[in-house]
A = this chain, B = another copy of it.
Amino acid sequence: MHVHAFIEEMERLAPPDLAEEYDAGKIGLVVEGRQEISRVCCALDATPYVVKQAIRASADMLVVHHTPLWTPVTSITGRIAGLMRDLLSADMNLYVMHTNFDRAQEGVNDALAELLSLTGVSSMSIGCIGSCGLSPAEISQKLGGNCRLWGTVKKIRTLALVGGGGFDPILLEEAQARGADAFLSAEMKHSVARSAPLPCIEATHYALEAPAMQRLSLRRGWQYINDPPLLKILP
């Protein structure tokens, strides 16, 4: 498949118009390689390990959620130089779907809601909300364990969730107003926790967003490359 045709397919899947304004220029084809695409790898981040695995798999295209070129650059040095050398030497393409995929049907939040078997799901201004039959501990289990619970909650009948770092005071208020018993996201800040109007379950960013990339790979017949951050709870 020509790279243009591949891009068109991806844009149907996760329309660029859905992206936040701050993603302008940071999604789509972020590194340009060869034009013929037959083998595709997929991951959450373009880490050095992920890129090397994709090269080993002879991929023509690597699809990720987070661009490695977030801050605009006027030089290619250090970690970025290593990454770009690997990608460009292998003539591999790098394609990014970020907040457009968060919001897409079958995207990040949809995949998360499915993983947690939410029902009656509807959108929030970011993320979604639905009926839930799980306890906090069961949610943690589904996400690989070691989540943190801020506040106390036993029974979660209604769960609001935002894949990625979504503990924003305005979103928390929206969730509460819509009857959520708890809010699931990543990267809690002290100042937000102090005034949170409802209990919060904090997972890792990776645990919340990887499922969507994995499910996408499965459906498309791509190879998913798993590379979670090394994280351990100390006693």
List the interface of chain A (C-beta within 8 A of B). 25-26, 28-33, 45, 47, 66-67, 69-79, 81, 84-85, 88-89, 91, 136-137, 139-141, 145-152, 164-165, 186-191, 193-195, 201, 204-206, 229-235
Contacts and interface: CB of A to CB of B under 8 A. Distances in A.
Contact of A195 (B79, B139, B186): B79
Contacts of A29: 75, 77
A148 B231 contact: yes
Contacts of A194: 45, 47, 66, 229
Nearest to A193: B229
A78 B32 contact: yes
5 contacts: A29-B75, A30-B77, A88-B89, A149-B233, A189-B205
A31 B190 contact: no
Contact of A70 (B88, B145, B191, B229): B191
B234 A31 contact: no
Contacts of A73: 69, 72-74
